Amino acid sequence: MARSFEPYDAESFRALGRALVDRLADYLTTCDEAEPGPDSSLPVLAVTAPAELEAAWSATLSAAPEGPPAERALALLDALLEHSNHLHHPGYVGHQIAPPLPTAALFELVGSLLNNGMAVYEMGQLQTVLERRCLEWFAERLGFPESSGGLMTSGGSLGNLTALLAARQAQTGNWDVGSHGEPPLAVMVSADSHYCIARAVQVMGWGAEGVVKVPVDADHRMRTELLPELHDAATAKGRRVIAVVASSCSTATGAFDDLEAIADFCSARELWLHVDGAHGASHALSEKHRDVLRGIERADSVVWDAHKLALVPALITAVLFRDARHAARTFAQEASYLFEDDMAAYDVGHRTLECTKRGLGTTLYAALHAHGTQVFTDNVDRLVDLAQAFAELLERSADFELAVSPRTNIVCFRHVPTGFEGDLDPLQERLRRAVVDSGAFYLVQTRLAEGQFLRTTLMNPRTSIEVLEALLGTLRASAAAELRID
């Protein structure tokens, strides 16, 4: 009855799928066997100038290309494997994004093929239920009550915006803000907060003074003792502060703000407490390292990126509300939420900026369900333990300086070669460039008040202290070459 459509052909898919899985499996083996260092069989990143890739892929997409589709697809796969940043390589210690569990990646294939868009329950029945299961599970880890609830959305930036929209709704009681001459709004946030908070404020149109930056202490934590006077000053300048955003943790150094102190302040002043736990909320999975989150159960909202410390691919972000009703109210354009029927909780398009949405919860659920949650707990423990061991190694090394004692898997440090008396900042930049260009490791850098630092995030459970010793050796060798010390 139906006409055929060759690109849907099941047997072509089976053949290409198997070939593609085989190459990806071989790739994982290569990553597994890679010895980080200058002689690695696989560079972490084969740095290639944009112009070179632009030239190689400049041909206009053709209407009827030559060769069978499967062959063309596999050639593209090979190019992607060659030019990607290899997160599964033990020498990957760069940005805070997970080397995903292969099982999770496979469920992205499943989810993408089924393409159930989830805005309404009928467009993703089990996907909706599994998302709720993940949210409940994580809310429990946070110590949230049963009356809590949330949503999943496409990334931490969108998650933080969504939480601040909920705060605006809850604090002003009125989504129709900005048009009736009320005082302009503001949030208070640590000077080290992620740029997406300022971006969310910009999106909402509160202007530059919509962000009240609270200075940080020597450990890069918000100086919470300044909150009352900064709040008073903002109020005196005509701003209505509606929320404090705590960083758990900050991106640059991994510093965790004092949630108890901030919660006390928010309580006293009747402000919304939002915790940007994009990176650090995963510590709730660990018994050993969860003390950095003490007080998180008092937050009104928490954002968590599962694609950072929970071994799943981007973007899988949860926004949790201590009071589930906020999840339903954020985007309510009328009072219709007051009259919600039983199905409204399952039609998730009401709760997210997205209308059609990927089945984010399905991928996370699949990983947790298949491997068990202990794997995720162990991973947090292992990576944070490793960061602390790395910090000790750095402290024992006279020619390295640690920026701040790590509480999570982020370690910032700089190399001070023996006898070196030049400018340390450009040296770090040159060292980082040389090491990354060599393909031996992938690390990043960050600019702190104290100067330019090398920055590592230990994302890969296969990275060991020996790998990090090799990193220091490579940095020393690069510095020696750079400074012509030999």
**Contacts to a second copy from residues 51-90, by CB under 8 A:** 53-54, 57, 60-65, 69-70, 72-73, 76-77, 79-81, 83-88, 90
List 43, 149, 210, 277, residue binding a second copy (CB under 8 A): 210
**Per-residue tokens: 64:** 């009827």
> According to the binding rule CB under 8 A, does residue 362 interact with a second copy?
yes
Determine the angle formed by the axes of helices 227-236 and 259-269, rounding to 10 degrees.
40
Smallest gap from residue 342 Cβ to a second copy (A)? 8
Smallest gap from residue 425 Cβ to a second copy (A)? 19
Smallest gap from residue 324 Cβ to a second copy (A)? 15
List 275, 296, 354, 400, residue binding a second copy (CB under 8 A): 354
Half-sphere exposure of 394 (CA within 13 A, CB side): 25
Beta strands in 236-286 (DSSP E): 240-247, 272-276
Q: How far apart are CA 110 and CA 446, in angstroms?
A: 38
Smallest gap from residue 282 Cβ to a second copy (A)? 15
**Contacts to a second copy from residues 144-173, by CB under 8 A:** 154-158, 161, 165, 168
> According to the binding rule CB under 8 A, does residue 191 interact with a second copy?
no
> According to the binding rule CB under 8 A, does residue 336 interact with a second copy?
no
What one-character DSSP code corresponds to residue 222?
B
> According to the binding rule CB under 8 A, does residue 205 interact with a second copy?
yes
List 39, 173, 208, 422, residue binding a second copy (CB under 8 A): 208
Length reported for the chain? 486
- The residue range among 6-14, 288-296, 391-399, 411-419 that interacts with a second copy, by the rule CB under 8 A, is 6-14
Smallest gap from residue 5 Cβ to a second copy (A)? 4
Interface size with a second copy, residues (CB under 8 A): 162
Main-chain phi, psi angles of 222, to 5 degrees: -55, 135
The strand pairing partners of 275, in sequence order, are 246, 302
List 41, 173, 270, 333, residue binding a second copy (CB under 8 A): 333
Smallest gap from residue 230 Cβ to a second copy (A)? 18
Nearer to a second copy, 224 or 362 (CB): 362
Q: What distance lies between CA 86 and its chain's CA centroid?
A: 17
The strand pairing partners of 410, in sequence order, are 457
Half-sphere exposure of 388 (CA within 13 A, CB side): 10
Which residues, 6 or more positions from 322, have their beta carbon under 8 angstroms from its beta carbon?
A: 144, 145, 147, 148, 297, 298, 299, 300, 301
Smallest gap from residue 319 Cβ to a second copy (A)? 15
Nearer to a second copy, 237 or 325 (CB): 237
- The residue range among 115-123, 217-225, 266-274, 476-484 that interacts with a second copy, by the rule CB under 8 A, is 115-123
Residue 53 belongs to what H/E stretch?
A: helix 50-56
CB atoms within 10 A of CB 484: 6
Nearer to a second copy, 263 or 348 (CB): 348
List 170, 431, 470, 471, residue binding a second copy (CB under 8 A): 470
SS3 421: coil
**Contacts to a second copy from residues 303-332, by CB under 8 A:** 305, 307, 311, 313-315, 331
**Per-residue tokens: 164:** 């601040």
**Contacts to a second copy from residues 261-300, by CB under 8 A:** none
| Contact characters 17-36, a second copy, x per CB under 8 A | xx-xxx-xxx-xx--x-xxx
Q: How far apart are CA 337 and CA 332, in angstroms?
A: 7
**Contacts to a second copy from residues 436-465, by CB under 8 A:** 436, 442, 461-464
Beta strands in 170-310 (DSSP E): 185-190, 211-214, 240-247, 272-276, 301-305
> According to the binding rule CB under 8 A, does residue 435 interact with a second copy?
no
CA distances (Å), origin 117, targets 129, 328, 330, 357, 367: 14, 19, 20, 5, 20
Q: Would you say 414 and 403 are in contact if contact means Cβ atoms under 8 Å apart?
A: yes
SS3 67: coil
Nearer to a second copy, 344 or 483 (CB): 344
List 233, 268, 355, 485, residue binding a second copy (CB under 8 A): 355
Smallest gap from residue 57 Cβ to a second copy (A)? 6
Smallest gap from residue 486 Cβ to a second copy (A)? 26
The strand pairing partners of 213, in sequence order, are 189
